[in-house]
Structure 1
Amino acid sequence: MKKFFLVKFTLFLLLSLNTNAQKSFHISSSDLVKIEQKYGTAGRQKVEDWDSMIESAKNQSILNQLQMVNDFFNKIPYKTDLAHWKKKDYWATPIEFMGTNGGDCEDYAIAKYFSLIKLGVPDSKLRITYVSYSKANSKYDQAHMVLSYYHKAGGEPVILDNINKSLQPASKRTDLTPVYSFNASGLWQAQTKGETRAGDNNLKSWKDLMNRF
């Protein structure tokens, strides 16, 4: 009986270790340990859930990838920078955003941007877009950020947003007025019709963000 119990326990232990080894597809075990040390088990679990989502999405159509990434991050609670980071403005890395389970509009857009880059979407098809968001039939207006996906250059983008959580073409988002957009390689200024390249991305907040990766 004792021998049978030891065999059974050994098999259980081996299966458990094997299951844990398969949890991470794109993150090293050492990095997961560091994430857990900094953000706790809940933070590590959120990152592992993201890792599994990326693995599941990698062979999907681009539309499904956009949907999966959008849905995953939109489940994270919205928190202002002042309440969450004790700072007026803070652009979190995706790990910081997931690890602390909270962030504001630019954190959603940034996390979605880098997740799609990880899935192989070209940088040229993605823009983090600074917009003015207004509510219908009201004077409410506020600064906001979304992620824009361009299937082809100069085409109409699909908007990934944390306020309106459904994927929609930009023409359907009459509540958003583009101001400027950027990605890793450039900065664009919105015009009445279209946009114009304003040069390289030299935004200070972007540089600070990249230094924390």
Structure 2
Amino acid sequence: MRSLTQLLVLLALVAPWQGGLLQAQARGDERGFTSAVSQRLIDEYSRRFGAPARGRLEAWKRYAAQRKGSPGAEAELLVEVNRTLNRIQFVDDQTHWGEADYWATPAESVASNGGDCEDFTIAKYFLLKELGVPISRLRMTYVKAIRLNQAHMVLAYYPKPDAEPLVLDNLEESVRPASQRRDLVPVYSFNDEEVWIEARGRSGSPKQIRNWNLLLERLDKEMRT
């Protein structure tokens, strides 16, 4: 989790985009998907994170493959994915990665069995995207966590563009409507295609977010492994 000061710095990086919205990669993009995790990447992460990483990555890939073949209501899928990925241990970036702020790829989070709120949110976003949930319904959302007095990230799911979102949070097993999460005050959100700042509505492209660009670079590297 971040301090509120760090969140304000992030907001400064998400200024309105002057050239119009930039589009994300083609919708066929499999970066961050379990299907993009090769045997070579599993071998590499087993060396990097230890032998148990192999079993974690293979179980993650099996889960996604099985879930793709078992269609069901998206609401049920949200609960299942939230609960499944919340089994990863919470570890702050400085302790886990030796950096003040590091956005791990889903494979890194699963293989290392650790991550912070951004990493949980990113992993849920990409898994739900892989399982067929439209990008338009998903937003990675920075909030002010009132009880913790900290910035925090959650995944918001919008069944319709103007609907009340459901909140997937690493601090809670349940998936609840935003109206039942009075402890969270949204600040800004984004997905592959757009950024929304709470006070302004749509405000630009995620390509303005430095950590998102670095994450995509690491995902590209994983795809080449």
Common fold: TM-score over 0.5: yes
Structure number with greater CO (CA < 8 Å, separation at least 6) is 2
Match of 1:211 in 2: 217
Tell me by how many angstroms 1:126 deviates: 0.4
Q: Identity percentage over the alignment?
A: 42
Aligned partner of 1:83 in structure 2 is 95
The structure 2 residue matched to 1:149, chosen from 146, 157, 162, is 157
Change over 3 Å in CA distance of 1:171–1:62 after alignment to 2 = same
2:53 is aligned with 1:43: yes
Provide the rounded CA distance (Å) in 2 between the counterparts of 1:56 and 1:111. 18
- Structure with max Cα Rg: 1
CA shift at 1:25, angstroms? 7.2
- In 2, the alpha carbon distance for the partners of 1:66 and 1:196 equals 25
Contact conserved, 1:133 with 1:142, CA < 8 A, in 2?
yes
- 1:97 pairs with 2:105: no
Q: Secondary structure at the match of 1:56?
A: helix
Deviation at 1:186, TM superposition (A): 0.8
Hey, what's the Cα distance between the residues in 2 that align with 1:67 and 1:56?
16
Q: Tell whether the 8 Å contact from 1:131 to 1:144 is kept in structure 2 after alignment.
A: yes
Segments of 5+ residues of structure 1 without an aligned counterpart are 1-23
How far does residue 83 in structure 1 lie from its aligned partner after superposition?
Answer: 0.8
What is the CA distance between 1:154 and its match in structure 2?
1.2
State TM-score, norm by structure 1.
0.81
For this pair of structures, how many residues does the alignment match?
A: 183
Residue 166 of structure 1 pairs with residue 166 of structure 2:
no
Which whole-Å CA distance do the structure 2 matches of 1:88 and 1:117 have between them?
28
TM-score using structure 2 length: 0.76
- RMSD of aligned alpha carbons: 1.7
Equivalence map 1:10-89=2 (5 Å): 27-58=37-68, 59-89=71-101
